[in-house]
Amino acid sequence: MNFTYDILDNLSNTYGEPFYLLDTVKFEKNYDEFIKAFRDIYPKSFIAYSYKTNYIPKLCLLVNQKGGYAEVVSEMEFDLAVKLGVPIQKIIYNGPYKSESSIKKCLTGEGTVNLDSIPEADVIEKIARERPETDMSVGIRCNFDIGSSVVSRFGLDVDGDEFNRVFERLNKIDNVNIKGLHCHFPDRCLETFVPRIDKMLHLSEDLFQSPPEFINIGGGYFGKMDTSLKNQFNCKVPSYQEYADVIATKMQNAYGKLDDLVKPKLLLEPGSALVADTMKFVVKVISMKVVRDKYIATVSGSRFNVLTTSDKINLPIRVYNCDKKDSSNNKQYLIDIAGYTCIENDYLYRGYKGYLAVGDYIVFDNVGSYSVVMKPPFILPNCAVIEYDPKNKTYNIVKREEGLEDIFDTFLE
């Protein structure tokens, strides 16, 4: 997407400020590159796109059209997938809180529920006894040490009694089929995927008499990003291919010689890896001030719109000046870019070195991950999402700017 100040100003005047820009062509390209990296090594690999990361319906529809699965973590997301036409058989239901009604909808529709706790096992057993004529597919979420400093709260500890009790209990129910194992850890560094896949392969061999139907290695992959952003992380940012070289190679070594019908599916649940670099966030400079020698630019967006993983992370930005002058001739300062909210630490960027003026536009890159879905209705509702169509060179509205009614219609007098 190539911008000018006039293009951004026209979009702002038409759709409101701030606004997101979506590149679905890039999303589709990322999807194709990611799955190709894995299938070139282990052909029975599949993407289950993480709805929670960014559930813009157009993106979820693209995944379904390309034969991917929907990975959902709530009844809302489950219902969205169904509404979009995703076959329930291609819905993978994760998450630590699943309502009984949504578990029932998924299981009786031939979807897969990955258990996260003993109470979920209670619910599944109840549904299975109510519907003895219906075969139900489940997986078990596994929690184990991957050498990370963070102890994950998801899944059952494979070295604890609960895991074995749940596995044996469900295995005894005639119409409940334990189809495979699932894990998910927050650490995106490549070295943590080695113990991840090794442990999952070891567990599969120990727990199943024949290969399971699937091994789900979960999400937690870095996406594509600018070098300036890569350098702010405490580990090397791997490529899709590097992730595949670790995960898919071990799957191929374990199961490559088996007949395709009995090979397990390798399920992958990328979210950020596919969508992070497909969105930009555009804000306008509202005011400039100096407070005790500190230069502050206040803009029409908020840190809540970009949701960086740390307030120490500066996303790549580009400035479009309104005065049409060569900004290099203007004196440059170290400027902190602050949001519109009344939260003291609402900063979108710390230490920008350059020239800024009221009316300038700033475009933030790599904001497609979690930003749209986690923006609270705090002080202002969420903004529009606009898609650029490179074929027709047009901009189309994907999500309109929210208004008063969108927030307050659910309150009762």
- pTM for this entry: 0.94
Instruction: Tell whether 188 and 289 lie within a shared domain.
Output: no
- Going by pLDDT thresholds of 50, 70 and 90, the confidence category of residue 74 is very high
Q: pLDDT tens digits, residue range 202-243?
A: 999 999 999 999 999 999 999 999 999 999 998 999 999 999
Q: Is 385 within 8 Å of 20 (Cβ atoms)?
A: yes
Instruction: Tell whether 226 and 356 lie within a shared domain.
Output: no
Q: The CATH number of the domain where 113 resides is what?
A: 3.20.20.10
Q: pLDDT tens digits, residue range 9-49?
A: 999 999 999 999 999 999 999 999 999 999 999 999 999 99
Mean pLDDT over all residues of the chain? 95
Q: pLDDT tens digits, residue range 296-322?
A: 999 999 999 998 666 789 999 999 999
pLDDT at 310: 63
Q: Between vectors from CA 378 to CA 372 and to CA 380, what angle results, nearest 5°?
A: 80
Using only C-alpha atoms, the chain has a radius of gyration, in whole angstroms, of: 23
Average pLDDT over residues 90-95: 98
How many domains, the chain? 2
Instruction: Tell whether 264 and 301 lie within a shared domain.
Output: no
Instruction: Tell whether 177 and 242 lie within a shared domain.
Output: yes
Residue 413 lies in a domain: no
Output the CA torsion 320→322→327→329 (10° steps): 170
- Going by pLDDT thresholds of 50, 70 and 90, the confidence category of residue 268 is very high
Q: What φ, ψ does residue 374 adopt, rounded to 5°?
A: -105, 0
Q: Is 270 within 8 Å of 217 (Cβ atoms)?
A: no
Q: pLDDT tens digits, residue range 146-199?
A: 988 889 999 999 999 999 999 999 999 999 999 999 999 989 999 999 999 999
Instruction: Tell whether 288 and 197 lie within a shared domain.
Output: no
Instruction: Tell whether 309 and 260 lie within a shared domain.
Output: no
Instruction: Tell whether 111 and 140 lie within a shared domain.
Output: yes
Range of the domain at 210: 24-276
